[in-house]
């Protein structure tokens, strides 16, 4: 059974840093593209970042490029999101999602999602 579970969401002040983790089980983690997607209350989901199966390629939404870094540890079946210079508009539930694809092309077929972890950026 495919399962991904996020952790690390907390309340932080603007300008600070935070690292989210996502642990995956039930599938060959090292074969799949992985994503982070966030959603503010009452808003549409917003794709944040993606990483290739081998970790050598990544991509980011313009709203987070240069501030966020996605990485993965295939030996631990875990994907991370390092967030710097956090802003109030970064607040929301952060979801980790598996891509059905195993190649780095037209990524974004999100077939399994975690329950999410809440990040609140507020002074």
Partner 1 sequence: EIVLTQSPATLSLSPGERATLSCRASQTVSSYLAWYQQKPGQAPRLLIYDASNRATGIPARFSGSGSGTDFTLTISSLEPEDFAVYYCQQRNYAPTFGGGTKVEIK
Judged by the rule CB under 8 A, the positions of this chain that interact with partner 1 are 35, 44-47, 50, 59, 61-62, 95, 97, 100, 106-111, 113-116
Label each residue of 25-62 as H, E or C: ECCCHHHCCEEEEEECCCCCCEEEEEECCCCCCEEECC
Taking the least distance from each CB to partner 1, the nearer of 35 and 72 is 35
Taking the least distance from each CB to partner 1, the nearer of 56 and 105 is 105
**Whether the Cβ atoms of residue 37 and residue 31 lie closer than 8 Å to each other:** no
For the beta carbon of residue 1, count every other beta carbon within 10 angstroms.
6
Least Å distance, CB 15 to partner 1, is 26
Taking the least distance from each CB to partner 1, the nearer of 23 and 59 is 59
């Amino acid at each position: 059974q495919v399962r991904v579970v996020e952790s690390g969401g907390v309340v932080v002040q603007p300008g600070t840093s935070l690292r989210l983790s996502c642990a995956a089980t039930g599938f060959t983690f090292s074969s799949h593209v992985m994503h982070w997607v966030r959603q503010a209350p009452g808003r549409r989901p917003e794709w944040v970042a993606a990483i290739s199966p081998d970790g050598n390629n990544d991509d980011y939404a313009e709203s987070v490029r240069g501030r966020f870094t996605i990485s993965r540890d295939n030996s631990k079946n875990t994907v991370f999101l390092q967030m710097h210079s956090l802003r109030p508009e970064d607040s929301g539930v952060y979801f980790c999602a598996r891509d059905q694809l195993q190649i780095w092309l037209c990524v974004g077929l999100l077939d399994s999602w975690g329950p999410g972890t809440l990040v609140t950026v507020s002074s």
